[in-house]
Amino acid sequence: MVDAINNQNTGNEQNTSTEKNMENRSQTNQQEDMIPKSSFEEVNQKYKDIQAKLESLLAEKEKADTEKVKADKKAKEEQGKYEELYKTANEELVKVKDSYKSTSVRVQELETVINGLLEAKLADVPKEFHDLVPANLTPEAKLSWLSNAESKGLFKSVSQKKNEPVGENTNPGSSQTKDLNSLDGISPRKVDVGQMSHDYFTKRLADASVDVNANANEELSANNYQAEVTKGILKLEGYYLLWRYSKKRFGTRRANELIKAIWNGELYFHDASGYGVQLPYCFAYSTANLMTEGRMYGQLYSLPPNRSDSFVAQVIETTMDLSQEFVGAVAPGDFIVNLCWYLEREGIDTESSEGRKYIENLWQKFIHVMNNKFRVSGQSPFTNVSIFDRENLKKLFTDYRYPDGSEVNIDYIMDVQKIIAEFFSKGDPSTGLPYRFPVMTVNLSVDENRNPLDLDFLDFVAKTNTQLGIYNIYINEGSKIAMCCRFSPSTNQRMNYRVDTFGNGGLNIGSHRVVTINFPRIAMEAKSREDFFNILDSRTKMAKDLLLVHREEILRRRVERGFLKFFNPLKWFNLDMLFSTIGIHGLYEMCHFLGFDMENLAGQDFTEAVLKKIEDYALAFSKETGHSFNTEEIPAESTAVTLAKKDRIIYGEDKQPFALYSNQYIPLIADMDTIDRIKLTGRFMKYVSGGGILHLNVQDRVTNPDTMKKLILMCLKEGVEHFAVNYGFGICSEGHTSIVGNGKVCPICGKPIDDYLTRVIGYFSKTSSWGDVRKNYEFERRRFNQTA
């Protein structure tokens, strides 16, 4: 057992020894396998470097992936745009294809016009010169070639003087154009928007404009710029519309004759621009619609006004709207009469200082808005407001009723009118000059012997007119007035109202257009008295046809389409309220070319015969067509210059020596005293159903009201139905204003006069905004007479 135990112990010892040996060997092996510290740090650093490089590569990959996503997205967007563009292009192509037929028709029509004009032009050229026209040119180029050749005198006959002038310059500081198309505003230069833009900023505005208008040619503005640079193109479009609808109504031959008559200067179609030809001309409207209906149109409706200030605001807004849809004067004829209903209801006392001030403030508001240039082409609206004597109020408003059924209070209306007129007669307090707009027209009534029926009102007018000569004075002999906005005249006779381009004559009545006859041209063409009236017959019928085309073919279509909202859909007006007006001017020069003198009896007798004949035509046309025609001695601000220049180009300066034709029976530059001028004008005015206006230019202020009254009474007695006592205001370099006529020196400081303010037609304007001929030729020679 001992041996067994010993053996066991021996075995355990051996095992223990073996384990120790193995442990020692294991420790030895571990020591041999351990990495040195320096080697570990090197490996660790390499690991970090590799990790950083990996992170950088991952970042670059992520960036590349992001850019790829963006690129793919952009490509898809571009593809979508291209697809949209492609879709739009296809739609436009379809539209072009759809309109190709109508476009082709229009092109063919234009080609017909051009060929017709070319034939007409060649007809005026002697046949021996026809071979000179280059055969390889287009019709348009041939027309241009012929015009240039003609202006250079290439086609003059051998019998003509070799050095005979053709439309040479006769106006100081300017050059007269030799191109008829340029005078009409449709020459290549005038229809070039870029060139017109250059001219707009480098020339005097009145010289750059296609149609000179003192109300529009005063200052540069974005509104005015847009109208002026495109006016030539729009005028060409206007002539196209006239030709197109003339052809539709009368055929190609007549259409060519009518357009040729306008372009050659036989006739003058007023406001022929593209937008202007699609609008009516002038209108006197009743403000009664506002009292009962309000302004129920536009983006924001206005209910009928309940207060005087609201009524004035609506009249202002409506007049602004109407001035965009009529190219001439807009006259709220019963404005003051209807204003009085509101003032009286509010208890405004015309005898108190507070009441007078309130009324003056309302009127001042109206004046300031009406002199803003918000109209098309940067113009103030041509507005005309009437005041009436007591007898006129009785005659015109006896049966009139306000919305509550009450009658007009004539005594109250007279008081309000006088407050407004006294304020207006003082003029602009900042300059001392008269207001331009509204034109204030005094309506005086006379008996059968032409004696005034309201002497108290006449005294008031004479007194308040001495300071600035603010009134246009209109004599009312009629007993009716168109009060109803649904008024429709009989179709077999003419409306029994006198209406002119200033908006005088009635309410809800006007003129849709004026076509003026060039009377001096007829006189130069005629070989005898009989020949004169034969040519007059032809020209008058041309004017009738153009007026019919404008009324029936152009305006009626625009009304049906809702283009003129006051006609349709509002139904406030209708085309039967509008006269077709035949314009008269240049009668003084007409007499000269026929060998008469207007200041002698033979010339006056012939002029009277011509006026009677034109009036007979107007009456006959009214019965023939069912539309009312009238005649008017037109203001002719630019017409008188344009037609005179055309005649100089055609006939030469030797045969046609006048720089402009007269817009009065006796030119304002003629040396005739005031009394003779009044008598001669009174002889002729009664034969002109649409009237005219006589300007009595006086050198100095009429300080005595009795002298002013005598002038007015003389006009009444001699049959002058529309006139104005007209001052010439001077503005010197120091800013002083004074009445100087056309004098050169300021009477206050002795400095030179820099500018003038006077009537160019029916309203006051500065001569610096007038066309070159009126400014530098006519005004320089205008006669301002003494009144003593």
Residue 178's pLDDT band (boundaries 50, 70, 90)?
low
| pLDDT exceeds 80 at position 338 | yes
Joined together, the tokens standing for residue 186 give: 């449709």
Share of the chain above pLDDT 70, in %: 78
| pLDDT exceeds 60 at position 157 | no
pLDDT at 539: 98
pLDDT at 159: 35
With a threshold of 0.85, does the pTM exceed it? no
pLDDT at 482: 31
pLDDT at 155: 59
CA angle, residues 765, 767, 771, in degrees to nearest 5: 105
Question: Cβ contacts of residue 72 below 8 Å, gap of 6+?
Answer: none
Among 381, 364, 363, 385, CA closest to 372: 381
Mean pLDDT of 662-690: 94
pLDDT at 643: 97
> SS3 for 504?
coil
Comparing 220 with 624, which gets the higher pLDDT?
624
Matching residue, tokens 């403000």: 287
Joined together, the tokens standing for residue 584 give: 């008269």
Question: For 543, phi and psi rounded to 5 degrees?
Answer: -60, -40
Considering only CA atoms, give the Rg of the chain. Answer: 42
Matching residue, tokens 């300080």: 703
Mean pLDDT of 668-685: 95
CB 617, CB 129: distance < 8 Å: no
CB 785, CB 698: distance < 8 Å: yes
Return d(Cα 741, Cα 787) in angstroms, integer: 13
Residue 160's pLDDT band (boundaries 50, 70, 90)?
very low
Q: 27-41, 505-519, 741-755: lowest mean pLDDT where? A: 27-41
76, HSE (Cβ side, Cα atoms, 13 Å): 6
Q: What is the pLDDT of residues 424-449, one digit of tens each?
A: 999 999 999 999 999 999 999 999 99
279, HSE (Cβ side, Cα atoms, 13 Å): 23
Mean pLDDT of 442-466: 96
Q: What is the pLDDT of residues 200-259, one digit of tens each?
A: 888 887 777 777 665 666 778 887 888 888 888 899 999 999 999 999 999 999 999 999
DSSP tag of 373:
-
Mean pLDDT of 655-661: 96
Mean pLDDT of 71-77: 68
Averaged confidence pLDDT in the chain? 84
Which amino acid is residue 267, in one-letter code?
A: L
| pLDDT exceeds 60 at position 700 | yes
| pLDDT exceeds 70 at position 297 | yes
Where are the domains positioned within the chain?
Answer: 100-156
Comparing 121 with 514, which gets the higher pLDDT?
514
pLDDT at 660: 95
Return d(Cα 69, Cα 85) in angstroms, integer: 24
Residue 28's pLDDT band (boundaries 50, 70, 90)?
very low
Mean pLDDT of 704-717: 96
Comparing 493 with 138, which gets the higher pLDDT?
138
DSSP 693-752: -EEEEBSS----HHHHHHHHHHHHHHT--EEEEE--EEEETT--EEE-TT-SB-TTT-PB
| pLDDT exceeds 80 at position 787 | no
DSSP 336-371: HHHHHHHHHHTT--TTSHHHHHHHHHHHHHHHHHHT
pLDDT at 419: 98
